[in-house]
Amino acid sequence: MAELKSCKICKLNYQVTDDDLKFYESVSPVFNGKKYFIPSPTLCPNCRQQRRLSFCNEFNLYPGECGMCKKRTLTEHPPHANQPIYCKECWHSDKWEPRDFGREVDFGRPFFDQVHDLKSSVPAQALTIDGENLNCDYMHYAGSSKNCYLIMHADFCENCSYGYGFKKVISCVDGFYNLHSELCYDCVDVYKCYGLKGCQDCVNCSSSAFLRDCIGCQNCFLSVGLRNKQYYFQSKQLSKEEYESKMREIDLGSYTQYQKCHARLKELEKDYCFKQFHTTNVQNCSGDYLKNCKDVQFGFDCEDVEGGKYLFQMVLGSKNVYDIYQYGTNLQASYECCISGANGYGLVFTLDGHMSSKNLAYCWYIEHGENLFGCVSMHHRSYCILNKQYTQEEYEALVPKVIEHMQKSNEWGEFFDSKIALFGYNKTTAQMWFPMKKEDVLTRGWKWDEYESERPNVVSVIKAADLPDNISDVDDEILQAAIECEESGKLFKLTPFELSFYRDNRLPLPRKAFYQRNLARFARRNPRKFYKRSCEKCSKEILTTYTKELAAKVCCEECYMKAVY
Ligand SMILES: [Zn+2]
Ligand SMILES: [Zn+2]
Ligand SMILES: [Zn+2]
């Protein structure tokens, strides 16, 4: 029976529908022929999402060392956490055995505490990298890529740097949600695009710069809301010759010029009437930034997903899933997971369930695992509880006892508590979407972490303001120096690949560190909230994710279609 519940944390009411209850039943695990029902959630959808995000440190990487081969690496674990780490090669090698850390279940203690203690003692991968990769030592929550550097939530990429949400892209730098695209710079939400600079919300566009909400355009500059156009310059149709002569006067290799164009685009957007949602080819869905989805409710940033609810950043095919933060890729019949997918099936309350894992509950970093309960940092194992090996019969007899224990301690049916997260709340993705103050975080018994890496030892430091305005005036010596970010004061270095990318594509050097650039792009996108506004054209009341700050004018889908086509 459908219920109206009050969230245990924020006290807001939320609805649990009959379909939701059917789903919880369908993913409830079976042991020894008996189904162990997953109860309906005690937190509202937002608090559940916040709880999952509080386990993800996607952007704060620290210098570290592999505990086995002593190779230097970057890692998501700050040095004071004392988390043992191995590099990708050592972690996957047979030189160690995660079951050696296995332990008996203690029925006198909360189960989550036991999982946390185990997690803190078993060597973790320094960075979360999956699949076959070549020359991609410094990426995180990413996989199956070649020659990439500092890309996150990314897969199937080649020659990319500084990206978030990159899928199947080549030679893209500094982007947020670039899908199936090539040679894009400083672009946000571009799909099947080629050779774009400073664009946002574009599909099938090429050889253009500073476009917003355009489809099928080539050789266009500083324009909004175009469909299948060529040679548009500042929203005016020009001839090919006129356009080319205008473009000769524009040098985006100049930082000043680049910033002016950005500001001009913002001006143009003020008069533009945006469509209420960014969705393409969806059927019976609610949410935003959805592509090729069917029957997805409250989904955001999803592509090719069928059947599910409360889904965030699910890509490349998933089915029958609820409450997932990242990443899908054919994840099925799963509930309350974080950073999980790649042909997973039957994953519940699991963080990092990767590579064809099946029937995992309360696990924390598993590759190719099956029938595991409360296990951490393992691959190719089955029938373990807290990393201790059992036979199938023993496993099926013991798990129900653990579940009964967790029912008594109010842990069964809940995702891991944020109290056992490994990172300070302020270092996690939760702080981006659900910003909180230090005292409020501490009041909830969660962690806060003020540690910053020491400034790197470099020969010289150049203040961002002292960089040459034009890329033509930058010489190779810049590679030996560090640049001081104009916003955070943190130092960052350029890679040789990056410098040649800026030179080849006539782009200015960045003045801000990657983290700040990424936050700025994040701020260009809409929140995962619905606002009631009225359609600019027909005055009908509509739902939209645009705040007044992000779009002065919004319109309903029908009015939008009439206006732009
Ligand atoms: Zn809540
Ligand atoms: Zn190693
Ligand atoms: Zn309308």
Distance 549 CA to ligand 1 centre (A): 26
Residue type, 122: V
Question: Are 270 and 191 contained in the same domain?
Answer: yes
Tokens of 260: 């002016």
Q: Which residues contact 415 (CB under 8 A, 6 or more apart)?
A: 48, 51, 52, 323, 336, 338, 349
* Interatomic CA distance for residues 500 and 89, integer angstroms: 30
* Interatomic CA distance for residues 185 and 190, integer angstroms: 10
The pLDDT score that the predictor gives to residue 317 is 85
* Interatomic CA distance for residues 238 and 330, integer angstroms: 46
Distance 447 CA to ligand 3 centre (A): 46
Q: In what helix (H) or strand (E) does residue 437 lie, and over which residues does it extend?
A: none
Tokens of 115: 């999982």
Distance 150 CA to ligand 2 centre (A): 20
* Interatomic CA distance for residues 112 and 108, integer angstroms: 12
Question: Are 517 and 466 contained in the same domain?
Answer: yes
**Mean pLDDT score of the chain:** 95
Which residue has tokens 């500084």?
A: 162
Q: Nearest bound ligand to CA 49?
A: 1
- The dihedral of CA 503, 507, 510, 511: what is its sign? positive
The pLDDT score that the predictor gives to residue 137 is 80
Distance 3 CA to ligand 1 centre (A): 15
Question: Are 229 and 186 contained in the same domain?
Answer: yes
Query: Using an 8 Å Cβ cutoff, are 482 and 456 in contact?
Result: yes
Q: Which residue numbers in the chain have pLDDT < 70?
A: none
Q: Nearest bound ligand to CA 72?
A: 2
The pLDDT score that the predictor gives to residue 126 is 94
The pLDDT score that the predictor gives to residue 459 is 76
Burial letters 368-389, b for 16+ CB under 10 A, else e: bbbbbbbbbbbbebbbbbbbbe
Residue type, 194: Y
Distance 69 CA to ligand 2 centre (A): 4
The answer as to whether 281 is a domain residue is: no
Distance 13 CA to ligand 1 centre (A): 8
Question: Are 476 and 550 contained in the same domain?
Answer: no
Which residue has tokens 């150049």?
A: 462
Tokens of 352: 């990092």
Angle (CA) 234 521 503, round 5°: 70
The answer as to whether 39 is a domain residue is: yes
The pLDDT score that the predictor gives to residue 453 is 80
Query: Using an 8 Å Cβ cutoff, are 159 and 497 in contact?
Result: yes
The pLDDT score that the predictor gives to residue 130 is 81
The answer as to whether 478 is a domain residue is: yes
Question: Are 271 and 202 contained in the same domain?
Answer: yes
* Interatomic CA distance for residues 344 and 333, integer angstroms: 9
2-48: per-residue pLDDT in tens?
899 999 999 999 999 999 999 999 999 999 899 999 999 999 999 99
DSSP β-ladder status, 491-492 and 482-484: antiparallel
393-439: per-residue pLDDT in tens?
999 999 999 999 999 999 999 999 999 999 999 999 999 999 999 99
The pLDDT score that the predictor gives to residue 335 is 98
HEC secondary structure over 350-398: EEEEECCCEEEECCEEEECCEEEECCEEEECCEEEECCEECCHHHHHHH
DSSP state of 41: P
297-319: per-residue pLDDT in tens?
999 999 999 999 999 999 888 99
* Interatomic CA distance for residues 209 and 198, integer angstroms: 6
Question: Are 480 and 548 contained in the same domain?
Answer: no
The answer as to whether 23 is a domain residue is: yes
Give the bridge partners for 293, in sequence order.
Answer: 282
The answer as to whether 26 is a domain residue is: yes
Q: In what helix (H) or strand (E) does residue 484 lie, and over which residues does it extend?
A: strand 482-484
* Interatomic CA distance for residues 294 and 281, integer angstroms: 9
The pLDDT score that the predictor gives to residue 502 is 97
Tokens of 153: 């939530």
DSSP assignment string, 492-540:
E---HHHHHHHHHTT-PPPSS-HHHHHHHHHHTSPPS--EEEE-TTT--
Distance 565 CA to ligand 1 centre (A): 41
* Interatomic CA distance for residues 61 and 56, integer angstroms: 12
Query: Using an 8 Å Cβ cutoff, are 545 and 529 in contact?
Result: yes
Query: Using an 8 Å Cβ cutoff, are 542 and 533 in contact?
Result: yes
Distance 275 CA to ligand 3 centre (A): 10
Distance 96 CA to ligand 2 centre (A): 11
Q: How many domains does the chain have?
A: 4
* Interatomic CA distance for residues 304 and 294, integer angstroms: 8
**Domain with 27 in it:** 3-53
Q: Nearest bound ligand to CA 69?
A: 2
The pLDDT score that the predictor gives to residue 79 is 93
Number of CB atoms found within 10 A of residue 309's CB: 21
Q: Nearest bound ligand to CA 43?
A: 1
Residue type, 39: P
Question: Are 535 and 517 contained in the same domain?
Answer: no
The answer as to whether 131 is a domain residue is: no
Question: Are 511 and 547 contained in the same domain?
Answer: no
The answer as to whether 480 is a domain residue is: yes
Give the bridge partners for 554, in sequence order.
Answer: 274
Question: Are 206 and 243 contained in the same domain?
Answer: yes
* Interatomic CA distance for residues 376 and 121, integer angstroms: 10
ω before 327 within 30° of 0 (cis)?
A: yes
Last residue within a domain, chosen from 275, 304, 334: 275
Question: Are 541 and 472 contained in the same domain?
Answer: no
Q: What are phi and psi of 285, to 5 degrees?
A: -130, 155
The answer as to whether 548 is a domain residue is: yes
Which residue has tokens 């592999």?
A: 66
Tokens of 232: 């548009």
